Amino acid sequence: MRHFCALTALLIASGACPAQSGISLYGIVDVGVRSSNGLGASNAPAADRSSAVSSGVDETSRWGLRGREALDAGWAALLRLEGGINADTGATAKSDRLFDRLAWAGLATPYGTLAAGRQTNLLSDALISVDPLGKRDASFNPNVNIAGLSNTAFGTHAFGRQYGPSGYNDNFYRLDNTVKYTVTSGPWQARAAWSAGEVAGDNSAGAAHGVALAYQCQDWTVSGASMQFRSRDDLPLDAWTLGAALRIDGWQLKANAARNKADTGAGKSVTQRVLSAGVSRNLAAGLLLTTALYSVRREATGLPDDGFDRAFLYLEKSLSPRTTAYAEADYTSWRGDAAGLTGSRANDRHGSGVTLGLMHKF
**Residue 4 located in a structural domain:** no
**Residue 340 located in a structural domain:** yes
What per-residue confidence (pLDDT) applies to 339? 80
What end-to-end distance do the CA atoms of the chain give, in Å? 25
Angle among Cα 145, 124, 22 to the nearest 5 degrees reads 125
What per-residue confidence (pLDDT) applies to 228? 98
**Residue 178 located in a structural domain:** yes
What per-residue confidence (pLDDT) applies to 27? 98
**Residue 179 located in a structural domain:** yes
Alpha-carbon distance 208 to 177, whole Å? Answer: 10
**Residue 337 located in a structural domain:** yes
Question: Count of domains in the chain?
Answer: 1
**Residue 322 located in a structural domain:** yes
How far are the Cα atoms of 24, 108, 158, 310 from residue 261, in angstroms, in the given order? 40, 34, 12, 21
Q: How many CA atoms lie within 13 A of 238 on its CB side?
A: 3
pLDDT tens, per residue, the chain with 362 residues? 455 444 444 444 444 444 346 999 999 999 999 999 989 888 888 888 999 999 999 999 999 999 999 999 999 999 999 999 999 999 999 999 999 999 999 999 999 999 999 999 999 999 999 999 999 999 999 999 999 999 988 777 889 999 999 999 999 999 999 999 999 999 999 999 999 999 998 999 999 999 999 999 999 999 999 999 999 999 999 999 999 999 999 999 999 999 999 999 999 999 999 999 999 999 999 999 999 999 999 999 999 999 999 999 999 999 999 999 999 999 999 998 888 777 677 788 899 999 999 999 99
Q: Tell me, what CATH number does 78's domain have?
A: 2.40.160.10
Of 35, 44, 91, 66, nearest to 353 by C-alpha is: 35
**Residue 5 located in a structural domain:** no
**Residue 131 located in a structural domain:** yes
What per-residue confidence (pLDDT) applies to 359? 98
Assign 3-class secondary structure to 139-198: CCCHHHHHHCCCCCCCCCCCCCCCECCCCCCCCCCEEEEEEEEEEEECCEEEEEEEECCC
Task: List, in sequence order, every residue forming a beta bridge with 83; answer none if it has no partner.
Answer: 63
Question: What's the domain range around 325?
Answer: 22-361
